[in-house]
């Protein structure tokens, strides 16, 4: 018997062991000619849109997906180091106004955006209460300096005006490495309620992260003494320049 191939152009051989011997296509391949199926569905919503799935259906779907990964029919997407580098470079590039407007419109049109936003804020608050995450995360009232908020750590005194004053005093430069990078206001005694200008110093993000990553108490104390010495020298220099 002559070998026949599917007429859709996929190159697959037809199997005549089951069914009629007059078939010209594999199952579902007849619609591929001139893309008939996709043209018929164009502009129409999918049949399963808005229909909620039960827990049993979800479990079946997850099990089938796991089985397909085990069999090798479905390949797991793994990011290569080259792909990661490309993503980092793309993230560094500044976004244009058009892309930002598109993102804002997409968020506004998404009905679940507000609900997801509330859920994220609630989970962050709970994690912060349980001390699962650091205080560097945004929590309601922390940057707004709301004195009535339960999550306010600065007693409403760590204002933008105070930060600006400290940055101008230190000339927007890191007082440890001496480089002009993104200026972070650091509390020397690590007491966030003590927002006196003599307790604040400007550090870059790298030096600030390195300081908070130190676990040894002695090395932290030496760093604190260093910061206090830098501030004292600055005060002496300012007094001498005034004279």
91-111 pLDDT tens trace: 778 778 888 788 878 877 877
pLDDT at 138: 47
pLDDT at 60: 92
Residue 15 and residue 28: Cα distance in Å, rounded? 14
pLDDT at 194: 84
Q: Which two tokens stand for residue 144?
A: 């707004």
Are 102 and 95 a contacting pair, CB within 8 Å? no
Per-residue pLDDT tens for 171-181?
888 888 888 87
Q: Which two tokens stand for residue 28?
A: 């579902």
Q: pLDDT of the chain along its 243 residues, tens only?
A: 567 777 776 777 777 666 666 777 777 676 666 665 556 666 777 777 778 888 899 899 999 988 888 887 777 777 788 888 888 888 778 778 888 788 878 877 877 777 877 887 787 777 666 665 554 444 444 444 444 554 455 666 778 788 888 888 888 888 888 888 778 889 888 887 788 888 899 998 888 888 888 888 888 888 888 888 888 887 777 777 766
Residue 11 and residue 6: Cα distance in Å, rounded? 6
Q: How distant, in Å, are the alpha carbons of 36, 175, 215 from that of 222?
A: 74, 15, 13
Backbone φ and ψ of 94, nearest 5°: -70, 140
pLDDT at 20: 63
Angle at 47 (CA atoms; ends 76, 7), nearest 5 degrees: 70
Q: Which two tokens stand for residue 216?
A: 């040894």
pLDDT at 140: 45
pLDDT at 144: 46
End-to-end CA distance of the chain: 108
Any idea where the domains of the chain sit in the sequence?
160-242
pLDDT at 21: 66
pLDDT at 139: 46
DSSP symbol at 186 = E
Are 204 and 174 a contacting pair, CB within 8 Å? yes
pLDDT at 142: 46
**pTM flag (> 0.85):** no
């Amino acid at each position: 018997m002559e070998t026949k191939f599917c007429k859709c152009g996929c190159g697959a051989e037809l199997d005549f062991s089951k069914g009629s011997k007059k078939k010209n296509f594999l199952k579902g391949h007849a619609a591929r000619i001139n893309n008939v199926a996709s043209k018929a569905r164009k502009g129409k919503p999918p049949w399963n849109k808005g229909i909620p799935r039960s827990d049993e259906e979800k479990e079946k779907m997850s099990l089938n997906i796991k089985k397909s990964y085990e069999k090798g029919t479905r390949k797991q997407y793994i990011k290569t180091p080259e792909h990661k580098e490309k993503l980092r470079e793309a993230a560094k590039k500044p976004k244009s106004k058009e892309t930002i407007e598109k993102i804002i419109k997409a968020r506004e049109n998404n009905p679940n955006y507000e609900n997801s936003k509330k859920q994220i804020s609630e989970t962050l608050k709970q994690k912060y209460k349980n001390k699962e995450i650091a205080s560097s995360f945004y929590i309601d009232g922390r940057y707004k300096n709301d004195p009535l908020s339960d999550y306010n750590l600065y007693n409403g005194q760590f204002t933008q005006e105070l930060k600006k004053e400290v940055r101008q005093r230190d000339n927007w430069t890191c007082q440890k490495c001496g480089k002009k990078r993104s200026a972070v206001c650091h509390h020397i005694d690590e007491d966030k309620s003590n927002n006196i200008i003599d307790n604040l110093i400007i550090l870059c993000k790298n030096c600030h992260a390195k300081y908070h990553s130190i676990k040894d108490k002695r090395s932290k104390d030496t760093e604190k003494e260093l910061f206090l010495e830098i501030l004292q020298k600055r005060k002496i220099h300012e007094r001498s320049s005034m004279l």
